[in-house]
């Protein structure tokens, strides 16, 4: 079974590799050592390092099935550029001189919303995608525009003891156990016992309206040590307070957004109940998808070409130009990229007039040191504009003409591209990150 397209979601505890099954629905790839419903465990020696988990899981996949044609790697939004580079570097190093698959990093919110959009359930104009993992809680505020998903804000809560891992540490401490590998394994074994999780959630639900009651009720036993409702409530407080903090940070001054929760900690019914009381019920995942697998499954749909990830830049990009009319200079704006045409890691988009690329020239080499070029973006729907940067384009020999375009790298850095007509390499001029939230352009 060599899947032509796979998605990899490296986590601190598990790395999930997903593909589309024979019926066209996402599923975890079966690999030796896979924990059912979870993925491949990240080795303790890796210390929860995403790169190490990616390397180990991808190596295991190739050993079992060979090299895929396409790989989509899920990366956290807060450090998307750095994580995208690291993921690409890891896979490149593993292949050496062997042929490489097409690799595309994809941020967690785009992967999750791809899953909802494919199912036709992404009906809200704005989402707060809450990625609740072992090490951190990350909330990305997303606006669904025509043909694109724009991430307009991201906040992260990553305590030293971890997010979901911090919950485990608090439970172990309350039971009088050290937070070590043996104790964590004992806790996982206890939680896997039939009926235990339901009993915990029932006890927490009953005690929610009566904080002083049921505190000493024992609901769990770990390595022979009892865990009480009071201990569980204190541990849960770590999750709820951290999540509230990042939700408040992203919601500040922003329109209301529909919450969708993913990641291992999103399985917690008490956490979902807390969110429902504070923010309304989280959006359901399609077909009861396990929230821990949502990002991997959405990325698998993207990898297989079943849905566009909608992570193209949602606004139009313009550059300032000059031309002479009746002997007088006139400043104008040239549309290079229509809204939704720039794709991270995709090809350069060149300015066009009808079916032809626009031809321009820069200042001549006999003139000034260069000509300043003003770059701005504009919302196609409302016309609101925002300046990006003014950069200086080097002079060129007399008579040299260029096609002008913009390229968006996989890490989100935009570059002005000048491709000379005829022979000669194109020159690229970085101008930073394009803004996604233009004042006056919010839906």
Give 198-226 pLDDT, tens digit per residue. Answer: 777 787 777 766 666 667 888 888 888 98
pTM for the predicted model, two decimal places: 0.77
- What is the average pLDDT across 77-106? 89
- What is the average pLDDT across 45-67? 82
**Residue whose tokens read 């979902």:** 272
Residues 273 and 341 in one domain: no
Residue 324 pLDDT > 80, yes or no? no
Whether residue 442 lies inside any domain: the answer is no
Count of structural domains, the chain: 3
Which of 98, 125, 97, 129 lies closest to 113 in space, CA to CA?
Answer: 129
In 10 A of CB 4, how many CB atoms?
13
Using N-to-C axis directions, what is the helix angle for 294-303 and 108-119, rounded to 10°?
A: 70
Whether residue 113 lies inside any domain: the answer is yes
Residues 169 and 32 in one domain: no
- What is the average pLDDT across 331-360? 85
Distances (CA, A) of 52 to 40, 259, 410: 12, 31, 21
Whether residue 440 lies inside any domain: the answer is no
Residue 443's pLDDT is 43
Percent of the chain topping pLDDT 70: 89
CB 435 within 8 A of CB 423: no
Residue 142's pLDDT is 87
Residues 258 and 374 in one domain: no
Window from 71-85, 209-223, 338-352 with minimum mean pLDDT: 209-223
Token code pair at residue 248: 């408040």
- What is the average pLDDT across 139-152? 79
Residues 39 and 95 in one domain: yes
Residues 162 and 272 in one domain: yes
Tens of pLDDT along 354-379? 888 988 877 654 555 567 888 988 88
Residues 100 and 195 in one domain: no
Rounded CA separation 77/90 (Å) = 19
Percent of the chain topping pLDDT 90: 34
Residue 200 belongs to domain with CATH number: 3.30.420.40
Whether residue 443 lies inside any domain: the answer is no
Provide the domain limits for residue 368.
316-433
Tens of pLDDT along 242-276? 999 999 888 776 778 899 999 999 988 888 888 99
Distances (CA, A) of 12 to 39, 88, 119, 136, 380: 11, 18, 28, 10, 40
Residue 305's pLDDT is 92
Rounded CA separation 339/204 (Å) = 48
Residues 89 and 157 in one domain: no
Whether residue 419 lies inside any domain: the answer is yes
Whether residue 423 lies inside any domain: the answer is yes
Residues 116 and 130 in one domain: no
Rounded CA separation 68/61 (Å) = 9
Residue 404 belongs to domain with CATH number: 2.60.34
Q: What angle do CA 425, 427, 429 make, to 5 degrees?
A: 165
Residue 137 pLDDT > 90, yes or no? yes
Residues 263 and 137 in one domain: yes
Distances (CA, A) of 398 to 361, 395, 429: 9, 9, 21
Residues 328 and 266 in one domain: no
Residue 422's pLDDT is 76
Residues 141 and 110 in one domain: no
- What is the average pLDDT across 317-330? 72
Residues 242 and 358 in one domain: no
**pLDDT class for 59, splitting at 50, 70, 90?**
very high
Rounded CA separation 231/214 (Å) = 11
Rounded CA separation 64/282 (Å) = 38
Residue 45's pLDDT is 45
Rounded CA separation 267/263 (Å) = 8
Whether residue 389 lies inside any domain: the answer is yes
Residue 31's pLDDT is 93
Whether residue 156 lies inside any domain: the answer is yes
Residue 278's pLDDT is 86
């Amino acid at each position: 079974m060599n899947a032509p397209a796979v998605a990899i979601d490296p986590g601190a505890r598990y790395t999930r590799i997903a593909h589309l099954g024979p019926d066209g629905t996402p599923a975890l790839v079966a690999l030796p050592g896979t924990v059912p419903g979870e993925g491949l465990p990240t080795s303790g020696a890796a210390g929860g390092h995403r790169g190490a988990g990616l390397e180990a899981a991808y190596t295991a996949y190739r050993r079992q099935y060979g090299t895929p044609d396409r790989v989509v790697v899920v990366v956290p939004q807060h450090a998307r550029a750095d994580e995208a580079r690291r993921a690409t570097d890891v896979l490149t190093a593993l292949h050496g001189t062997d042929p490489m698959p097409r690799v595309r990093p994809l941020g967690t919110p785009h992967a999750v919303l791809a899953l909802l959009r494919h199912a036709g359930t992404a009906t809200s104009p704005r989402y707060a995608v809450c990625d609740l993992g072992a090490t951190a809680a990350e909330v990305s505020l997303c606006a669904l525009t025509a043909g694109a998903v724009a991430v307009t804000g991201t906040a992260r809560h990553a305590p030293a003891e971890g997010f979901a891992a911090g919950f485990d540490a608090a439970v172990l401490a309350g039971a009088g156990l050290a937070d070590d590998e043996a104790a964590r394994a004992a806790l996982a074994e206890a939680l896997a016992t039939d009926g235990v999780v339901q009993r915990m959630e029932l006890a927490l639900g009953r005690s929610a309206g009566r904080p002083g009651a049921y505190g000493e009720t024992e609901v769990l036993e770990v390595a022979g040590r009892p865990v009480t409702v009071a201990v569980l409530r204190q541990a849960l407080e770590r999750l709820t307070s951290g999540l509230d903090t990042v939700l408040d940070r992203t919601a500040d001054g922003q329109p209301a957004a529909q919450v969708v929760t993913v990641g291992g900690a999103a399985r917690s019914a008490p956490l979902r109940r807390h969110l429902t009381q504070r923010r309304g019920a989280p959006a359901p995942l399609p077909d009861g998808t396990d929230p821990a697998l949502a990002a991997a499954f959405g990325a698998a749909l993207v990898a297989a070409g079943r849905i566009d990830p909608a992570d193209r830049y949602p606004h139009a990009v313009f550059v300032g130009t000059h031309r002479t009319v009746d002997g007088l200079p006139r400043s104008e704006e040239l549309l290079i990229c229509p809204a939704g045409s720039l794709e991270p890691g995709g090809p350069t988009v060149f300015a066009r007039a009808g079916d032809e690329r626009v031809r321009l020239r820069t200042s001549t080499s006999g003139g000034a040191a260069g000509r300043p070029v003003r770059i701005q973006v504009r919302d196609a729907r409302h016309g609101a504009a925002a300046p990006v940067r003014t950069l200086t384009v080097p002079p060129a020999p007399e008579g040299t003409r260029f096609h002008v375009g913009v390229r968006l790298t996989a890490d989100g850095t935009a570059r002005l591209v000048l491709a000379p007509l005829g022979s000669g390499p194109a020159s690229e001029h970085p101008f930073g990150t394009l803004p996604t939230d233009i004042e006056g352009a919010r839906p």
